Structure 1
Amino acid sequence: MSAEIRALEPKALWNKFADLNAVPRPSKKEERVIKFMKDFGSRLGLETIEDEVGNVIIRKPATADMENRKPIVMQSHLDMVHQKNNDTTFDFDTQGIDMFVEGDWVKAKGTTLGADNGLGVATIMAILESDTIAHPDLEALFTIDEETGMTGAKGLKGGLLKGEILLNLDTEEDDEIGVGCAGGVDVTATRNYNEVNVGAGSSAFKIEVKGLQGGHSGMQIHEGLGNANKLMNRLLYRAYDAFGLQVSEIDGGSLRNAIPRESVAVVIVDTNKTTQFVKDMDQKASVIKKEFKTMEPELEINVAETTLPERVMESDVQEQLIKAIYAACNGVYRMSPDIPDLVETSNNIARVIVKDGFIKIGCLTRSSVESSKADLANALTSTFEMAGCDVELSGDYPGWAPNMDSDILKVMVPIYERLNNGEKPHVAACHAGLECGILGTNYPDMDMISFGPNIKGAHSPDERAQISSAQKYWKFVLEILKEIPKRN
């Protein structure tokens, strides 16, 4: 781990982040980081427990003269999104993140950085370890699997936490105080299909869409970023009629909460039409790249001859699939009529797999309004069912309704203004899925708030954390802890 990270200020925060990032911690595989966190709490001599699903809770008594303040919960999630560039050799199951400093930013070499939500975890660790930071009775809640199902938050039982205020450290804009978030549901369409033998006089091509930025499928869904699955589908649309194109396989996207950056398809066309096919693909690629030249300057669309496969999709199913993906909503479905500039409902067509007689399409539908979330999920279900797919809705989790009368919000706003020369914070709900909504189902009376430092490009290899923002955020955290309201 680079010594330059450990030399950054505040050292307490960045050193804990470096310690954490040395531990592999992909979602669903948190065993090592759970042990790491339990060992950390035990080494400090603090009460440390692991609940039934793998969440870790560490309790620290109030510092001197803070015993009469409301007890608090500081919460962040242990897992991180594992994304890397195609040309990066990296094993998230065994390797720690390789970080470096570039100007005012901390980045990772070809992978996600893990600042989401590692900087929140590191913040809490630094406070637990300190003998000089003032705070009330503190419960540190480290949840698991936030990125791929929120099963940690869902599995946390009521009555386990005693805190009255929850500080969620999972917001990615340092001028924002989060008071609400979207809920979500996974929409998965599957179908079997028959494969047919490749006919004589056929040539095979590999089509690649790559170089897209990707990013967070909630926080960045409104930015107009390219979705590799939708772009690949544009290339394939109508090509059967023109060139006899048939699909052998498609592999696009990865995680549901990441806007897909890459897609690869293997197709066959009539050998007599290959010249015109390549020309047509180049023309379509040129049009697409022109559309996205501002947002996606690194977009590449490559078409090259490849080894002829033995079998391809039957044409009827292929047509239904391509039309369904074309028709399926991707991006913003509805803006909030109540909160300016807030995306209310959206969908990310995150994963498309076509191979060996099986189709799987994975989407993540988000909304801050339950009825609107159900409406979009029903629209997607109808679209894919008309293409002969079976559709499953799973992983449903609720949103977090804003409470503008929050006591901790009333404390934090004037602190922010005092620390930032009168600048007002942006008090808002976000379109990401925070755990507060789920935690609130078992802790309905807990006063919750979310905030954090500037993190850009989360869920992509371009993820980066701003050093100056981390310093601003750290001062904010320390002042909040000093001014937690007194017990009633």
Structure 2
Amino acid sequence: MSNDIRTLEPKELWNNFADLNAVPRGSKKEERVIQFMVDFGNSLNLKTVVDPVGNVIIKKPASKGMENRKTIVMQSHLDMVHQKNADTDFDFDSEGIKMKIEGDWVTAEGTTLGADNGLGVAAIMSVLASKDIKHPAIEALFTIDEETGMTGAKGLQAGYLEGEILLNLDTEEDDEIDIGCAGGIDITIENSYNEVSTPTNSTGYTISVTGLNGGHSGMDIHRGLGNANKIMNRVLHTVQDYIRISEINGGSLRNAIPRESFAIIAVYNSQKDLFLKALKKITKEIKKELKTVDPNLEIIAKEAQMPKKVMTAISQTTLIKTLYAAHNGVYRMSNDMEGLVETSNNIARVTVGHELIKILCLTRSSVETSKEDLANTIRAPFEIAGYEVTLSGSYPGWKPNVDSQILTVLTKKYKELFNSKPDVVACHAGLECGILGTNYPEMDMISFGPTIQGAHSPDEKANIKSSQKFWKFLLEILENIPVKK
């Protein structure tokens, strides 16, 4: 089915996207896609450089008659989020994404699509390869590891770029122009505990939380979607008097709202009826609460092999109570921009087993002090309980500039092309603009892109008509970049 994608318009965009999606490119595993981009730049006889951290920079001179325009940086990230449905047999390390067309959408077969940010990369490739598109001098910047640490943007040193304007192609609504974004910080919570032999006269059970939609832990955090880790903990809290926990495995990446969680427990035989009754009641309550946003949620307990070891009673109680206290979701809305999530947290990954507890969170905020406040709010109960809490990977937000010259160009051209006003917004995602601005503080930055839904989940899909709109808009912008002073 992936070959059908190549017939879509604009062909140059979709063909480059198909070529890119044939290359495995998970975060922190970008060696092959870096080489792919280097080979692409060299095939066009364009100056191609790989910086010390792995970012690829390809430079193209201005087209005829555009030499007096400001040099622009066109920027997208090479890596993609790897998520798949539990019943999908797919190896992200060796296989290319299997795409298909469903109505007016392009999606993948049971995995993430990689339109985030692959369509941006493909658009830049198309401009670089073109012979008839009018454009100023271009510095194409392809960053690495945006999804799990933004180490590419963080590692880009001053002096590699000369452009005065940066076009970031990583926004996911085609009627939005982004002028600001949230920063973030990783929270890692760890603790060891002693295992004991499973009590006699017990029965092994597995509890599974599945069927949640998941999504982007920034862009979708306001939607009230179910978090599998919080749901599992709520279930375990309800039945804690009847069970002993052996293992928990929930969620995956920090920037993805967790869709699934699994627990292995032992249920006291004398309490089995109470356990099943309590589980049935809490399942009904949670499904009722989430029926609008997560109608396919399933919470199922099945008898299973008896685990050999379980947590001590005190370790189990401490885990359940501290995780219950940990904030998940929107923490604060912006007072300055209506409808903007200012600060949030995603409890992304919870693993328990073999005498080690590990909890991973991603806290986001467009206000540094609010980000610190929430991080401290989360760490406090865990540290009181004796857990080790580490804050790492902090990156700054991108402060909006309503007087931006390139913003004026984009809003004007959008109105002329589409006879409507774009939404000028700041987003709750972690765009790289704020980080890139650290070493390039004078660069005028803007972000836009085609409509993509379900990013960071196997439901990710890219709108075909929107991609055509985005391409038309991009070409108009390139032709109207301001002249040099």
User: What is the CA-CA distance between 1:317 and the residue it aligns to?
Assistant: 1.3
Aligned partner letter, 2:375 = A
Aligned partner letter, 1:228 = A
Q: In structure 2, how many angstroms separate the alpha carbons of the residues matched to 1:82 and 1:238?
A: 33
2:481 equivalent in structure 1: 484
Counting only pairs closer than 5 Å after superposition, residues 75-86 of structure 1 correspond to structure 2 as 75-86=75-86
Counting only pairs closer than 5 Å after superposition, residues 310-325 of structure 1 correspond to structure 2 as 310-325=308-323
1:66 equivalent in structure 2: 66
2:146 equivalent in structure 1: 146
Q: In structure 1, how many angstroms separate the alpha carbons of the residues matched to 2:220 and 2:13?
A: 27
Partner SS, residue 274 of structure 1: helix
1:178 equivalent in structure 2: 178
Partner SS, residue 372 of structure 1: helix
Aligned partner letter, 1:477 = L
Alignment partner of 1:408 out of 406, 409, 414 = 406
1:33 equivalent in structure 2: 33
Per mean C-alpha deviation after superposition, the further-off stretch among 386-395 and 25-34 is: 386-395
| RMSD (CA atoms) | 0.7
Partner SS, residue 70 of structure 1: coil
2:444 equivalent in structure 1: 447
Residue 97 of structure 2 corresponds to residue 100 of structure 1: no
Could you report, residue by residue, the CA deviation over 1:236-285 in whole angstroms, capped at 9, with x for unpaired residues?
Answer: 004233x2x11000000000000000000011111122122112211111
Q: In structure 2, how many angstroms separate the alpha carbons of the residues matched to 1:452 and 1:387?
A: 45
2:298 equivalent in structure 1: 300
Could you report, residue by residue, the CA deviation over 1:23-55 in whole angstroms, capped at 9, with x for unpaired residues?
Answer: 000000000000000000000000001000000
1:207 equivalent in structure 2: 207
Partner SS, residue 29 of structure 1: coil
1:467 equivalent in structure 2: 464
Q: In structure 2, how many angstroms separate the alpha carbons of the residues matched to 1:437 and 1:82?
A: 25
Q: In structure 2, how many angstroms separate the alpha carbons of the residues matched to 1:387 and 1:476?
A: 54
1:371 equivalent in structure 2: 369
Q: In structure 1, how many angstroms separate the alpha carbons of the residues matched to 2:244 and 2:449?
A: 48
Partner SS, residue 359 of structure 2: strand
Per mean C-alpha deviation after superposition, the further-off stretch among 228-237 and 275-284 is: 275-284
Could you report, residue by residue, the CA deviation over 1:174-221 in whole angstroms, capped at 9, with x for unpaired residues?
Answer: 000000000000001000000011121011110000000000000000
Q: In structure 2, how many angstroms separate the alpha carbons of the residues matched to 1:406 and 1:384?
A: 43
Could you report, residue by residue, the CA deviation over 1:75-121 in whole angstroms, capped at 9, with x for unpaired residues?
Answer: 00000000000000001000000000000000000000000000000
1:438 equivalent in structure 2: 435
Q: In structure 1, how many angstroms separate the alpha carbons of the residues matched to 2:88 and 2:239?
A: 33
Q: TM-score, normalised by structure 1?
A: 0.99
| Unmatched 5+ stretches in structure 2 | none
2:9 equivalent in structure 1: 9
Counting only pairs closer than 5 Å after superposition, residues 118-157 of structure 1 correspond to structure 2 as 118-157=118-157
Residue 43 of structure 2 corresponds to residue 46 of structure 1: no
Q: In structure 2, how many angstroms separate the alpha carbons of the residues matched to 1:326 and 1:301?
A: 18
Q: In structure 1, how many angstroms separate the alpha carbons of the residues matched to 2:68 and 2:195?
A: 70
Q: In structure 2, how many angstroms separate the alpha carbons of the residues matched to 1:443 and 1:197?
A: 58
Q: In structure 1, how many angstroms separate the alpha carbons of the residues matched to 2:277 and 2:304?
A: 17
User: What is the CA-CA distance between 1:378 and the residue it aligns to?
Assistant: 0.6
2:218 equivalent in structure 1: 218
Aligned partner letter, 1:15 = N
Partner SS, residue 48 of structure 1: strand
Q: In structure 1, how many angstroms separate the alpha carbons of the residues matched to 2:364 and 2:259?
A: 20
Partner SS, residue 237 of structure 1: helix
Partner SS, residue 186 of structure 1: strand
User: What is the CA-CA distance between 1:386 and the residue it aligns to?
Assistant: 2.0
Could you report, residue by residue, the CA deviation over 1:448-483 in whole angstroms, capped at 9, with x for unpaired residues?
Answer: 000000000000000000000000000000000000
What's the % identity of the aligned pairs?
66
Q: In structure 2, how many angstroms separate the alpha carbons of the residues matched to 1:270 and 1:317?
A: 18
Q: In structure 2, how many angstroms separate the alpha carbons of the residues matched to 1:362 and 1:469?
A: 35
1:393 equivalent in structure 2: 391
Aligned partner letter, 2:178 = G
Aligned partner letter, 1:65 = G
Aligned partner letter, 1:335 = M
Q: In structure 1, how many angstroms separate the alpha carbons of the residues matched to 2:2 and 2:268?
A: 54
1:249 equivalent in structure 2: 247
Partner SS, residue 83 of structure 2: coil
2:19 equivalent in structure 1: 19
Q: In structure 2, how many angstroms separate the alpha carbons of the residues matched to 1:337 and 1:171?
A: 23
1:269 equivalent in structure 2: 267
Could you report, residue by residue, the CA deviation over 1:328-383 in whole angstroms, capped at 9, with x for unpaired residues?
Answer: 10000000000000000000000000010000000000000000000000111102
Contact 2:238/2:282 (CA < 8 Å) preserved in 1? no
Could you report, residue by residue, the CA deviation over 1:376-426 in whole angstroms, capped at 9, with x for unpaired residues?
Answer: 0011110211222100000000000000000000111010011112x1000
2:228 equivalent in structure 1: 228
Partner SS, residue 298 of structure 1: coil
Q: In structure 2, how many angstroms separate the alpha carbons of the residues matched to 1:366 and 1:238?
A: 30
Q: In structure 2, how many angstroms separate the alpha carbons of the residues matched to 1:240 and 1:133?
A: 64
Partner SS, residue 348 of structure 1: strand
Aligned partner letter, 2:257 = I
1:166 equivalent in structure 2: 166
Q: In structure 1, how many angstroms separate the alpha carbons of the residues matched to 2:240 and 2:126?
A: 59
Q: In structure 2, how many angstroms separate the alpha carbons of the residues matched to 1:219 and 1:406?
A: 24
Contact 2:189/2:389 (CA < 8 Å) preserved in 1? yes
Q: In structure 2, how many angstroms separate the alpha carbons of the residues matched to 1:2 and 1:364?
A: 34
**How many residue pairs end up in the alignment?**
485
Aligned partner letter, 1:339 = M
